[in-house]
Structure formats: structure tokens, C-alpha cells
Structure 1
Amino acid sequence: MPTSPTAAPRLHHGIALLPASAPHDGRTPLLRTGNRSIRRSRTILERRPRRRTTLAASLAAVTALLVGGAAPPPATTGATAPAALPIRLDPGYQQQPFEGWGTSLAWFAHVTGGWPDARRNRLADALYSADGLGFTVARYNIGGGDSPETEPYMRAGAAVPGHWKRPGPETPDWWDPENPEHWDPYADGNQRWWLKAAKSRGADTFEAFSNSPPYFMTRSGLVSGAANPADDNLRSDQYERFAAYLAGALRRVQNATGVTFDSVSPVNEPGTDYWRAGGRQEGSHWAPDSQAHMITALRAELDRTGLRTRVAAMDETNPDMFRADWDRYGDSARAAVGRLNTHTYGTNGRSGARDIAKGAHTPLWMSEVDLGGTVPQSFTDMRPALDLADRITDDLTRLEPRAWVLWQAVEDHENMSPAHENSNWGLIQTDFTPADAAREPLRKNKKYWAMAQYSRFIRPGARVITTDDDNTLAAIRPGGRGAVVVHTNATGSARTITLDLSGFRTVSPSPVRRYTTDASRNVHREPDVSTAGSHLTVTLDPGSVTTLVIPGASGVNPAATTVPSAAPRLLVNDHSGLALTAAPAEGGGPLVQHAPDRPDTAQQWVFTRSLPGDWSSTATYRVTNVGNGKALAVAGDTLTLAPPGPSPGQRWMLSTSGDGHITLINGVTGALLDVTGASTDDGAPIGVHRPTTGDNQSWTLPAEHRPPPARREANRRVRSG
């Protein structure tokens, strides 16, 4: 157990927060990558420009957070109560069925899977049982494994065993995947126990992932990375052998545990430069071309050995890097990917990852993240919980992932203590090197209970829908009857909200269940509330996360949804403020942008849903110009107008986070409607381009012309040239 009074920096997937006691400027956390300390600006979230609370309430929240304590203080007695905050729910835009919540098993499973039955079962219940968090997803780490001759150097739990066995003295390229004696059939028993424990409690979605190849396939001879962290660590002649290793380990773990892996991810946060030989965890850099090579090699090996497991890629550290990697992949690598994975340790570019997945017709996961928070280790402070709730709500709204997976739900309490990182990673903290595992406490923090506000109520099969508020996540329950709303009030004042439920076809009167987590309560059942017609008004306590279960809401009211209907609409570009216009034939290009002119039929567009009643976020539309009767179409890489017909090139998907802004994705090519060169010139051509997250690919559909809503996203990418 670490005993040094010097706080050890946390290098977790490239972001190593120094302890809360470390000096910093009060604005940006001091982070460490490898042996270099740097100042990295705090993540700027992609935000939806929504209605916010009053300035006074916001200032109260800031004051409360700066003062500290378990929760923000209540509002001043006698203050004028603010008007209720209206929040609209729109079931006319329904994400694909949610697959579930979960956690990666490394490193805690490698530690706790060998604990006494009572202790490890209690932990498994806390994460996977219906009375716990109800997780249904488990990500299993296929360890690479260092040489037996290497002195241990990794953090507690991080040295996940490899599946190889060296039966004799080491010789060059001794390992033969076809030789049964070169495999350890009992490797990694502790993680295997967790797979079976999760399955027995209802988990039904399993993914395997790798952080590093085995030591004997690497350039450095270590699974922690190359000597130069910007270099690939897999030797150039080892792609097929590493693919055989992953496929062989996958098959052996499946046979030993009875679980079936739905997917396997061969690379993890590959584009970063913080995997360094001698680091405290497994990791490996992969250039985009190397990623593509590994993905196709693994797909070929899985096919060769009869495994239908999907290849997941590329588990990049943030959506912007995910998009940059994907742009470098060729057709064969893209075709080999059966699931797209991104982490959200940084959050810019989520809309780009979303639209890439839609255009590729490939499911997308948020496959890893956690937040340590900006306060010292605490099990009662709500601030880390409120931060986590904010990340969940934003990820599900902007990214549209089919699953949301925590890094590791159980963290090393000793490493999180004031003597070390002094932070709040994990939902439960317990010592990874305990004196007596049978008596070691399992300490749930407030993040655990905030997680439960989501995972217990938004279940697999639910469909997330849009809202027009930053702090509100809503979903239709499995089967389509009933809705769940989770609202975070991070301010220091009580907040009254009024939910507008008119977007539902019916809202039958029935008790609305309410559950709250705050400084003194943990998913506590509060008195039921009732709808009043198509509205629900409720007051929420300061510093709280509240879940509302509305059983009587169902169906879609087409007249109240914000998705386009048969009425002609303008398409106004968010970057230029100019409208999509069908140019006269003698004008050269068929589509340009001009100053919005509502009566001009060349600027009027009708959206016709391909399948009436399809309210999914992947529904396709034909977009027809009122003036000439022709439809937007893509032929090859060219945007054009064509007579309306069944051509797939005339099918467009619409993406939105509920903020009044949309992107239009061609259903065949995956390219987005785009102002060429991000031009703001009147008459500039309109075309299509791969997703960039630039405002020149973002549009509004005003019913009547008015300036497009302001964008809050501070770091949006705008393509030039």
C-alpha cells in the first residue's frame, strides 16, 4: 500500500490531475502527461443554447461552489420567487434504443475479483443488481502482460495478466498462437469472476478491449508504451500475431465464463502521446494508418476463426480526435468497424462523432469517462455528483450514444486520499491493497447516487428525446409508454420547472413519481406530483439531481413537435446567416446562399418523411424545393437537384440536440449539407462535405425569418478553404 506523503499524479488515459492541494491558478487544473507538467484549459463543453436561470441564481450557485461544503446553501428567506422555468419535451425526435449503462472492469475487477465471496458479491450487487445501479454493460480488459523478469512498476490493479504462457526459456518470437501450451487457460481469473457475476445479475452486453499488446510484440519490451510516447509500440511485423492473440483470448474467456462478447476493441486512446515505457498502466500509441491496419487484421482473424464478434474502434480520448482518426481511415478499415467508440475526457466535437456514426449506419458508444472533480476526496459533497450528472446529460443529448460506460466504477481509496491524489474518481472507493479484504469498507460517494438517478430509471430499450434545457435529460420508457425526466439543479436556490408535455399524443392523469439525491438524500422517494393537463410543475431543491417518472405520457403529437413537417421552411446557415437557395439554371451551381427572403419560393423547402410515423433520430426525409419542385440529392460527391424519386441519394437524416440547430446528413454518402469554404458571401455555393462540426454545416429552420439562435459552443471547428 502506498505510504509516501508525496502526492502521486494520476495518469489516467493521459489526464493526470495533481492533488487538490497542489498550487494552481484557480481557473485551470494542473495536469501531468508522462514526466511533463502542463497547464491544460478545463474542458469547454459543447453546450446547447438553452434557457438558463436568472443571473441572481447563477451568482448564488457560483458563490456556493466557491465557499464549499456538502451542498449549496438555500435561497435567502423572503426573496422573490423566480418564475417557473419552462422546459419543452419533444418525443418527435427519438434516439435509437438505449443499450445500457456500464463500467470497464479494469483495474478494480483484477483486484476485487479475488476477494472473499461476501465482499466481492456485495460490490457486484452495488453495480449490477436491480437494487444497485442496474448496470447491464461490462467492458473486459484483455491484458497484454509484461515479462515475468520485469520488476513490477504499475499502480495497484493495473498489471492485468496476459493470456499467454511461456513454457520454457524465452527465444525470439517464441509465442505461437496455434500452440495450446503457449496459452494460459486460467489467466485473469479475477476479471473472469466479475464477468460471471455481472451476467448473473442481468448484464447482457459485453465488450472486450485492449490497452496494449503483450510485451514480446512491442518495441520497448514493456506494455506501458514506447520509449518515445509519440511512437507506435507494436512492432511492424506483429499485426497478425496480435490479432491472433486478441481472438484467442476472446474465445477462451467466452468458453470459461459463458458470456458472449458483442464486440472487441483492439486499440485504446491511440492518438495520444502519453503512453510511455515505464508508465504506471498499459497503453500504446497508434498512428491512424496503424489503427486501420490493426482493425482490418483483427476482422480478418475473427472471420478466419469463426468469431462473429464486432470490431469496435477507436476508443479515442475525445470526439475531436475520434473524428480526426476516422477521416484518415480507408474504406476497408471503415467497413471492418462494427461499432464506433469514443471517450469524452474532452467534449468538443460530439456532434461530429454523432453524425459520422449516423452517416456510417454504425452504432456509437460513449465507452469510457470519469470525473475526479475539483474538490478534495469527499463522500458527502454534491459537487462531483453534479459534475457527473452534467456530463451524462450532455453526452446523451449531443453524442446520441447507444450506451454510456464509466471508466471504472470502483476506485482505489488509498490512492484517492489526501496523501495522494485527493480526488473523487469512481462511484465507490475501497483500498486495492487492503490489510483485510473481508473487512475493507466499500465507500459510496455522491456520484454513486447521482448515477443511480439515471441508471435505475432510463433502462435498456428506452429512447432519449430532445429537450430545450441544458440541465434536463428526457427519455421514453421501453415499450413507448411513459417518460423519464432527470433534471440537475446545481444552483444554490430552489428551482421551479414546468414541463411542457404537449408533444406527447396523450398525457393521462396519473401520479408522477419523484426521486431526489442531494447533500442529505440518496435517490429518496419524494411525495408524488401530478400533471395539470399537458404540463407538470415541480419545485426542485438546490444542489440536487431529481428523477421524475411520468407514466401517463405516450405517443407523439405531430402538431407540437419541432421536427420539420409539410409546411415550407427556410434553411438558414448558422455561420453566414444566409439561406439555402435553388439558383436559376443560368447561375452555374444549382444551390447557393442568399439573404433570407421568406416569400421567395426558391428558398422554401418541404421535408417529407420517408416513413410516416417514424419519429426516430435516423428517420430520412426528402427535401424538396417549392419553387422548382426538385429535391436535394447527392450524386457521387456533388450536391444537386433532381426530380423527386426513390433514389437513395435523395434521403437525408436530420440531427439535433433540441436547441433549434440541425445538421443534414446524406443517407448514402454520410456527407453533410455544407457552405463551401465556410463562406459568408452572398451567392456562395452550397455543397456537401464530411462532418467537421463547423457552423457552416449547422442550420436553423425558422418558421419566419429572424436571426438564428446564438451558439454557445466556444470551440466549434470551422473548415476553411
Structure 2
Amino acid sequence: MRDRHFAPVKNSRDMTSPLYLSSCFTGSNGNYTLSPTPNNAWTLPTLLAAYRQANPWYNCWSSIQFNGTSVIACGLVNGGCPNNFVIENSMSPFVASSQPLTITFDVISPPKIAKWEGFGTSLAWWAVAVGKNGLDQQYANLFYTLNDSVSAAYANSGPGSLPGLGFSITRYNIGGTGIPEDSVPPNNVEMYYDGDGSTVGRNTTDKSAWYKLVPGFWAKNDPNAWFWGRDPNQWAIFAAIRAANPSTLVELFSNAPMWWMTDVKSSMGGNLLPEMNSVFISYVANVTAYFVKNLTVPIRSVEILNEPSAGWWNFSITSQEGLNANITQQQSLLTGLRNNLTNALPDVWVSGTDENNPDTAKTNLASILPLVQQYNVHSYWNLDQRRIDLKAKLGNKPFWMTEYGDGDSTGVTLGYTIAHDINLMRPSAWINWQVIDPAWGLMTVNMGQTITRGKVKQVNPKYYVMAQYSRFIRPNDKILSSSDVSNTVVAFDGTSYKIVVGNYASQRNITLDLRTIATARGKAITGPLNTTYTSPLFNKFFQPMSCNVTGNTVTFSADAFAVYSFQIPPS
């Protein structure tokens, strides 16, 4: 948010809508920030979601603090700051409660996604923070079962039980952090916190961040320096997940090589030393082989690079593991890993390259795509056309969305992103970055080194929004089309249709026109239909609701930003 000047929005109309602007800051690069009217009652993340839905071409992507003011950050757009007259014309339907919407369904055309593989989460930080503390099975049951009621241990108090999220994919992080005992002068390991939070260093200034440095298994470049017990917390969570859901798909991923392989002698940023290229490949391949052969863990895929083109993994600025790699280095690492695995583990796929967003991914796609068996991308920036463009270039290559997170605890932005990713980018899997996190998590948990470590502090509304999708859109479903690309996801499991709809920026009447589904079933749909909904603004979380069916249609009044999940049973 640099190089911006203040440009007040001029508008003679009464700006009573919370969607109108009070000011706009334009940057020299064409980006801008919107400052909404100060007297509105909407939270900024909610307002951000409204801008996204009404004006996706503005590319508004985040709510931030700028010069002490909460603002909405937006991407490059022709003409710079938008005018309130334009905003009024495009956004007023999202404020008015009298705008009805009818949604139709296409059950004849080929599915958007032929085989949905599931939702999931990466482990890494949260698993290091809460693992091996007597609560491993609690979290495994919360995130990886479809149990209707899962009890949780709270630091103070909270809901008596939660619905399981029913995840089916787990990403295990291959760490790169060492411990002080590994260092041999003059190549000292950076003194950051190791896995028990006991060592402070210059780049991790508070103890709350200790869990971001995931312990690695190879202490030094010596075949006798492997220590497989160094990541006990993440492993404890992973073992509990496999007990809760033995069929979970597993991907291993690396954010950085071992610290001693980099030019800055740290896993927190920097570059891979040229002479360590093959050593890094061996590290990732050996960890994969250990999981498969020694721990009997079936591995679907392994990723050796994480956001390698971003350019922000710069020691000593970053406080998390990361590695910069140019396109030549990326190609070398992917090719080398494939060659290594082909000999011992030919069925394990190489995936990559987990770029930060579809736009960055598209830049190097032609050079990377032939080298991976599965393409991974992260879903930041909220660029719908880039989602569409990326999928067009990927063709039929297996494709996962492997990281997304945001600071909107209501779940409004989460639901928006899930719907747009599934309908426009069309991956076969959608994976949360950190389900537990102080800023981005579905819940917050005590991550400090105290007797309450691992206990739940707060369950955010977005936990229940996640449940509205993950409990209903299930592995092996087909993802179908509807007339509402922005807000409706439709799945079919061979017998039942599942419709997840909502997250509109205003209260409105919704009609689900189910006639095509009735025709496909060969039988009229009768009600009532049992529905589950989450309304973050009204503190209603995963509540049951019954809807009548008349003439193969369902009409209901949807709360602003609420999400509703319908299931149409077999005929």
C-alpha cells in the first residue's frame, strides 16, 4: 500500500448505503484502496464481500489497515478510483431486500468437475502448535469425520459440541528447521524457536510464532544424521487423522529445504545453494520413501516448491519457512524429484508449483505443466477471469487448490472464494491453509506453552460456513452447473442432489427451480426439504430448517450472507 495520494470521492447524492465510499486512495501502480462511509454498521470483511459480489471487475481482494484506517484494497482497474454513481448502479441490487432471484440447474451438460476429491487442510503450523497434547483425536474428529456432534475442550467456555467437517485430504508439511545442537561454527543455524518453543532468536521475536518453524528430519549432510522423531506434534495430529478417516488422501509438501542447504543458513527465506540442488531432492524423496515404506502411509503426491515465484521469501524479513526459485531451478527440482521417485515410488505423483494465485501460476505454466502429474495452485487475489483462464490452460491435468486463508472470521469471504473457485477454476479438491490460526483460522486455540495449550479459545462463524460446504459436497460427487455461478454450488452423488446456496450481500427471496432435477429423476420433488443453514450476521450456526416444495420449486427468504445447504434425496 505504498505511493498513494488522497482523492476524495465527489458525489452530491446522499450516501446512506454502506456500500458507498467516503474516500479513495489511488496508487501510482493503478491499485487503489476504498474507504467506506464511516457510519455504516457492516464489518469491513462483510463490506468487502459485497464489493466482490457486485463488482468482481474491481478485483477487490483484502481488508487492511492503511494509515490507521480500515480500508479495502483493490487491484488494477481502468480509470483508477471508481465513482459513487457507478457503484450505486452496480451495487444497489445487493443492498435492496426486494430483489428476488430464481436459480435454475443444468443436469444434462457434462459436469464442471467429473469427480470431486474433497476438502481438506494443510497441517504444518497448527498441528505443531496443538499436537501431542492429549487433544489430537478431538481435532481429528472435528475436521475429518461427519459426526453430528463432536465435543471440544475449551480454555474457558464455548459451544457444547460442533459438527464434524468431514475433510478427506491432508497435506503434511516436510519441515526445514533445525535445532541449536545441529549447528557447527561458522555455519550456525539461526537461533529461532524449535518445536518445543524453547529457543529464541533474532527473527522470531515473540513466542507465539514458534510453531511456524516446522522441525526437519535431516540435521546435516550426513547419511547418519536423520532423526525421524523430530516432528512429534505434527505427526501426532496426522496419526489421529488417519485413525479418524483411514481413506484420507495425503500430500507431502515442502515450504523450504533444510536450513543448511540455503545461502543464508536458514529455512526462513533465501535461495538454495547450487551444490544443494540434488541434496534437497534427496531430502524430499527420502522423507516420502520413509512415510510410504516405514510408516505404511499411502502418499498421493509430493510438492517440493511453495510459491517459488513470489519473491518475498527474503531472510531476515520473513518469519516463516520459504524459498525463492526461478523457473530454471523449478524445472530442475521437479525433474530431479520425478526421476528419483520413479525408481523407488513410481505411483507417487509430483505436484506443483503451488504459486500464490492463478495469475502468477499462468505465467510459468507452459514450462511447468509437463513436469508434474498434478497441478497445484493457491487462490489469493480474487481474480475471476484468471481463474477461468488458468483452468482453460490446464485442460484435463489433475488439479488441486491447495491453499487459501483470509482474516474474515464471519466466513463470508471464505464462502465466496469456495463458490468461485469450484465454479470457475474447477479444481477437484479445495484445501484450507490453516484451520486453526489466530487470524485466519476456523477457530482460535491457545498456542502458547502453557497448561491450556491446544484448548479452543473461540469457534469462528466461518467454521460453520465451511461445514455447509464440506459436509454436503462429498468425495466422488459430480459438480454440476447452475444459473448462479457466484453463489451456488451443485453436486450429485449418483442418487442425491446437493445444493449449497447463499452468501448474498442482502436479504432476498430465493427460488430454486428444481424442474430439471425432477425430470432427470423421473419423479416430482415433494417436500418438505430438510435444510441446514448458517447466518453469521444473526449468530445462527448450522441450524435446521424445513422448506416446502410447490410445483418442483422451493422459495425461501435468505438472510444477508447466510449459506443454505439443501439435499434432494433419491426418487
With the shorter chain as reference, the TM-score category is: 0.7 to 0.9
CA distance in 2: counterparts of 1:28 and 1:19, whole angstroms: 7
What whole-Å deviation, never above 9, does each CA across 1:427-475 have from its counterpart, x for those lacking one? 0111211522368334210110000000000100111111121443333
1:121, CA displacement in angstroms? Answer: 2.3
The match for 1:186 is: 229
The match for 1:90 is: 106
CA distance in 1: counterparts of 2:139 and 2:234, whole angstroms: 13
Q: Which amino acid aligns with 1:188?
A: D
What whole-Å deviation, never above 9, does each CA across 1:398-440 have from its counterpart, x for those lacking one? 011010000010113xxx4xxxxxxxx1101112115223683
Distance 1:249 1:106, change over 3 A: same
Q: Does 1:523 align with 2:542?
A: yes
Q: Does 1:546 align with 2:564?
A: yes
Q: Does 1:134 align with 2:148?
A: no
Aligned match for 1:388, one of 405, 410, 414: 414
Q: Does 1:302 align with 2:341?
A: yes
Contact 1:112/1:432 (8 A) holds in 2 = yes
CA distance in 2: counterparts of 1:120 and 1:22, whole angstroms: 42
1:280, CA displacement in angstroms? Answer: 0.4
The match for 1:703 is: none
Secondary structure, counterpart of 2:569 in structure 1? strand
The match for 2:175 is: 143
Contact 2:507/2:557 (8 A) holds in 1 = no
What whole-Å deviation, never above 9, does each CA across 1:227-265 have from its counterpart, x for those lacking one? xxxxxx111222221111001112223445442110000
CA distance in 1: counterparts of 2:94 and 2:336, whole angstroms: 52
What whole-Å deviation, never above 9, does each CA across 1:254-278 have from its counterpart, x for those lacking one? 4454421100001000111110112
Contact 2:269/2:322 (8 A) holds in 1 = yes
Secondary structure, counterpart of 1:212 in structure 2? coil
Question: Which structure has the greater CA radius of gyration?
Answer: 1
Aligned match for 1:406, one of 432, 454, 469: 432
Distance 1:27 1:335, change over 3 A: closer
Q: Which amino acid aligns with 1:86?
A: T
CA distance in 2: counterparts of 1:469 and 1:235, whole angstroms: 50
CA distance in 1: counterparts of 2:265 and 2:277, whole angstroms: 16
Matches within 5 A, 1:253-264: 253-255=291-293, 257-264=295-302
Contact 2:129/2:454 (8 A) holds in 1 = no
The match for 2:268 is: 224
Contact 2:64/2:73 (8 A) holds in 1 = no
Q: Which amino acid aligns with 2:242?
A: K
CA distance in 2: counterparts of 1:350 and 1:440, whole angstroms: 37
Q: Does 1:107 align with 2:125?
A: yes
Say what the alpha-carbon RMSD is for the aligned residues.
2.7
Q: Which amino acid aligns with 2:259?
A: Y
The match for 1:354 is: 391
The match for 1:246 is: 284
Aligned match for 1:268, one of 306, 312, 321: 306
CA distance in 1: counterparts of 2:364 and 2:444, whole angstroms: 34
Contact 2:406/2:414 (8 A) holds in 1 = yes
Aligned residues: 453
What whole-Å deviation, never above 9, does each CA across 1:101-131 have from its counterpart, x for those lacking one? 000001111111121x2x3322222111212
Aligned match for 1:125, one of 129, 141, 161: 141
Unaligned 5+ segments in structure 1 are: 1-15, 30-39, 45-52, 61-74, 76-80, 167-174, 227-232, 379-383, 417-424, 554-721
TM-score, length-normalised on structure 2? 0.74
Q: Does 1:281 align with 2:298?
A: no
Q: Does 1:514 align with 2:554?
A: no
Secondary structure, counterpart of 1:314 in structure 2? strand
Q: Which amino acid aligns with 1:366?
A: M
1:140, CA displacement in angstroms? Answer: 0.5
The match for 2:379 is: 344
What whole-Å deviation, never above 9, does each CA across 1:339-372 have from its counterpart, x for those lacking one? 00000112331112212221xx321101100111
Distance 1:508 1:197, change over 3 A: farther
Contact 2:122/2:172 (8 A) holds in 1 = yes
Aligned match for 2:504, one of 487, 490, 493: 490
Matches within 5 A, 1:367-386: 367-373=402-408, 384-386=410-412
CA distance in 2: counterparts of 1:26 and 1:337, whole angstroms: 39
Distance 1:110 1:256, change over 3 A: farther
The match for 1:657 is: none
Distance 1:356 1:495, change over 3 A: same
CA distance in 2: counterparts of 1:396 and 1:466, whole angstroms: 10
CA distance in 1: counterparts of 2:557 and 2:63, whole angstroms: 38
What whole-Å deviation, never above 9, does each CA across 1:490-542 have from its counterpart, x for those lacking one? 33324232324326522533432211101222111112432523x33333233
1:57, CA displacement in angstroms? Answer: 4.3
CA distance in 2: counterparts of 1:494 and 1:190, whole angstroms: 46
Matches within 5 A, 1:606-645: none
Contact 2:137/2:237 (8 A) holds in 1 = no
The match for 2:479 is: 464
1:165, CA displacement in angstroms? Answer: 3.1
The match for 1:27 is: 72
Distance 1:189 1:127, change over 3 A: same
Contact 2:390/2:425 (8 A) holds in 1 = yes
Secondary structure, counterpart of 1:323 in structure 2? helix
The match for 1:210 is: 254
CA distance in 2: counterparts of 1:23 and 1:526, whole angstroms: 42
1:307, CA displacement in angstroms? Answer: 4.7
Q: Which amino acid aligns with 2:303?
A: S
Contact 1:386/1:490 (8 A) holds in 2 = no
Q: Does 1:234 align with 2:272?
A: yes
CA distance in 1: counterparts of 2:230 and 2:515, whole angstroms: 53
Q: Does 1:451 align with 2:486?
A: no
Contact 1:428/1:443 (8 A) holds in 2 = yes
Q: Which amino acid aligns with 1:487?
A: V
Distance 1:266 1:439, change over 3 A: closer
Distance 1:438 1:327, change over 3 A: closer
Give the % identical residues. 26
What whole-Å deviation, never above 9, does each CA across 1:268-323 have from its counterpart, x for those lacking one? 00111110112200001111121111100000111233352100011000111111
CA distance in 2: counterparts of 1:263 and 1:248, whole angstroms: 14
1:59, CA displacement in angstroms? Answer: 3.0
Aligned match for 2:94, one of 58, 67, 76: 58
CA distance in 2: counterparts of 1:240 and 1:161, whole angstroms: 21
TM-score, length-normalised on structure 1? 0.59
Q: Which amino acid aligns with 2:110?
A: Y
Distance 1:489 1:336, change over 3 A: closer
CA distance in 1: counterparts of 2:336 and 2:546, whole angstroms: 57
Task: Compare the two structures and name the one with the higher helix fraction.
Answer: 2
Contact 1:474/1:483 (8 A) holds in 2 = no
Distance 1:467 1:136, change over 3 A: same
CA distance in 1: counterparts of 2:492 and 2:191, whole angstroms: 52
CA distance in 1: counterparts of 2:255 and 2:454, whole angstroms: 32
Secondary structure, counterpart of 2:307 in structure 1? coil
Q: Does 1:475 align with 2:490?
A: yes
1:146, CA displacement in angstroms? Answer: 3.9
The match for 2:551 is: 532
Distance 1:531 1:393, change over 3 A: farther
Distance 1:208 1:498, change over 3 A: same
Contact 2:411/2:465 (8 A) holds in 1 = yes
Q: Which amino acid aligns with 1:356?
A: K
The match for 1:601 is: none
What whole-Å deviation, never above 9, does each CA across 1:52-107 have from its counterpart, x for those lacking one? x99654235xxxxxxxxxxxxxx6xxxxx54x412111122312210000000011
What whole-Å deviation, never above 9, does each CA across 1:646-700 have from its counterpart, x for those lacking one? xxxxxxxxxxxxxxxxxxxxxxxxxxxxxxxxxxxxxxxxxxxxxxxxxxxxxxx
Q: Which amino acid aligns with 2:216?
A: G
Q: Which amino acid aligns with 2:297?
A: V
Distance 1:508 1:409, change over 3 A: same
